[in-house]
Amino acid sequence: MKTKTIQTFEINIFISGPLAAIEDVCRAEMRREDYCVTVTPTRFVFGGGDQEGARVGLLSYPRKPCPDAVLRNRAEKLARELLDGLHQNTALIVDPDTTTWISVAEEPGGGE
């Protein structure tokens, strides 16, 4: 039996959309790149209703360690692919240090 331990680094992307479509976008990206993600169904509940979506997880795998910066880049690229493929306006990327909101929609009044 072999064991290998590395420092934990996990990134999650939160996005709305049908679970099957989220999985399809992830599967297509995994065919282009050699890594794996987890897709966990979630529901976003807010004052005006709710939406289905997923938490897409990326982590450095001890068998094939990935530098933190490379994993962040993969998460950003995948989040953009998900936004485009699902026709969504926003997504969140959450890592141990930061939460990044990505929006493709213009905010009212031209603000950031």
Please check the confidence at residue 31 and state whether its pLDDT lies above 70: yes
Give the pLDDT score at 34. Answer: 81
pLDDT interval class at 88 (50, 70, 90)? very high
What domains can be seen in the chain, in order of their start residue?
10-104 (3.30.70)
Give the pLDDT score at 108. Answer: 62
Spell out the long-range contacts of 35-41 with Cβ–Cβ below 8 A and sequence spacing 24 or more.
35/61, 35/64, 35/66, 35/74, 36/61, 37/78
Residue owning tokens 């005006």: 48
- Tens digits of residue pLDDT in 40-66: 999 999 999 999 999 999 998 888 889
